[in-house]
Structure 1
Amino acid sequence: MTLLRILLLCGSLCCSTLAQAVPTDDVMALLQHQQQTWNQGDINSYMQGYWHNDQLRFVSGGRFVYGWDNMLKAYQQNYPDQKTMGQLQLKVSDIRMLSNYAALVVGEWQLQQPRGVSSGVFTLLVEKHDDQWVIVHDHTS
């Protein structure tokens, strides 16, 4: 193989790699979907961003919730309607890719509800399962 062919092949591979979706874009799309479905008052669609598994872990307020079903139940109890859910704003500070299939996401959240505004920070472990990025660990304070 000539040097020119090798260079052309390498250039072709680099360009095709750049054309593929960047994992951080997929993770951001997941979080944008989370924010949008929350603001629409759709907890069921919001929960699709979480790993539907008993090993899903949610940490907040000094408490642990394990499992997708338990997390859904807690959300339904604490946010029974769209008015109670209010409007969520997520601000991602950093997405650190741990591998091609895992990312650590750090950011801030703000929730505007009829009773006032609350805010805090979050750290998420996001993994790719069955070609879909999902939150497998959520620590929100």
Structure 2
Amino acid sequence: MHKKGWILLLLLLGLPVQAVPTDDIANILRDQEAAWNRGDLDAYMQGYWQSDKMRFVSGNKFRYGWAETLAAYKKNYPDKATLGQLKFTIEETKMLSNYAAIVVGRWQLTRVKDKPNGVFTLLVEKIDDKWVITHDHSSD
């Protein structure tokens, strides 16, 4: 076999085809955006780690737990008018390891009377072979 053939064979054998984690992570936010925009907060929360250790930080409050966070969303966004239309913009996804990433971006709600917006930093981790948000710090 020629030298080029060996190099190609080594490349093919040494590099298994795998999904890019950043694509999987971006899909979480796309799915959340779609769920929010159809008014489905239960589906929106599927992007978060379903654990009492999941942390959500906003304003000057710390909230712990998936169920507590869902309850807060339902209280603060009781109807389609308050939900509005959500748009996420990912500015950067930095892989910290094969099992963790930091995602930095912007969020914007478009409602009839206003357009609140802000920034977020997410810690996304691969737990039980699924990427989930384990820490969310969002602010205006």
TM-score higher than 0.5: yes
Structure 1 runs of 4+ with >2 Å offset: 2-9
CA displacement 1:76-130 (0-9 Å, x = unmatched): 1001122221100000000000011111000011111233110110000001111
Q: How many residues align?
A: 138
Amino acid of the structure 2 residue aligned with 1:54? D
The residue that corresponds to 2:132 in the other structure is: 134
Distance 1:9 1:44 in 2: 47
Calculate percent identity across the aligned residue pairs: 54
Contact 1:120 1:140 in 2 (8 A): yes
The residue that corresponds to 1:109 in the other structure is: 107
Q: Which runs of 5 or more structure 1 residues have no equivalent in the other structure?
A: none
Distance 2:130 2:20 in 1: 14
Q: Which runs of 5 or more structure 2 residues have no equivalent in the other structure?
A: none
Q: TM-score, normalised by structure 1?
A: 0.91
Q: Aligned pair 1:78/2:82, yes or no?
A: no
RMSD, aligned CA: 1.7
Amino acid of the structure 1 residue aligned with 2:25? V
Distance 2:62 2:39 in 1: 24
Moved more, 2-11 or 36-45: 2-11
Q: Aligned pair 1:7/2:2, yes or no?
A: no
The residue that corresponds to 1:64 in the other structure is: 62
Q: TM-score, normalised by structure 2?
A: 0.91
